[in-house]
A = this chain, B = another copy of it.
């Protein structure tokens, strides 16, 4: 994959919005470090693939990018991640940081309020 660090992150977001977890995980380095900051981090592409697919299939995914900015190999995003899962419509405002190495995502950290997410999984109505 070529392109600027910002392009690489936008490709990654396009893979999410295609709801294609194989394509999502192809954006990672072998030793990717993934941290949903309120929870425990996950290390390695295979472990992250397992993590993302064990949560369950998403019915649909629509990440909206509010802003994106790069500084060298670091790309910072402000997003609203919307998705359907188990008949619930989740709309989660968050920010995420990405570190790029050799055209792949080597680190990904998302920051959000875990209770806001869990409330929507429990109470959310179908979108």
Q: Name the CB-closest residue of B to A74.
A: B67
Digitize A95-120: 1 where CB-to-B-CB distance is under 8 Å, 0 elsewhere: 11100000000000101111110000
Give CA–CA (A96, B111) in the complex, Å: 10
Residue from B37, B77, B115 in contact with A38 in the complex, judged by beta carbons closer than 8 Å: B115
Given contacts A76-B77, A77-B76, contact A93 B111 (CB under 8 A): yes
Shortest Cβ gap from A39 to chain B (Å)? 9
Whether a CB of chain B sits under 8 angstroms from the CB of A75 is yes
| From A68, A74, A113, residue with most partner B Cβ within 10 Å | A113
Q: Does any Cβ of B come within 8 Å of A82's Cβ? A: no
* In the complex, chain B residues whose CB is within 8 Å of the CB of A69: 69-71, 74-76
Task: Please tell me if A31 contacts chain B, counting CB pairs below 8 Å.
Answer: no
Q: How far is the CA of A17 from the CA of B94 in the complex (A)?
A: 25
* Closest CB in chain B relative to A33 CB, distance in Å: 14
- Do residues A114 and B111 form an inter-chain contact, with CB atoms below 8 A? no
B112 touching A115 by the CB < 8 A rule?
Answer: no
Contact yes or no, A95 B97, CB < 8 A: yes
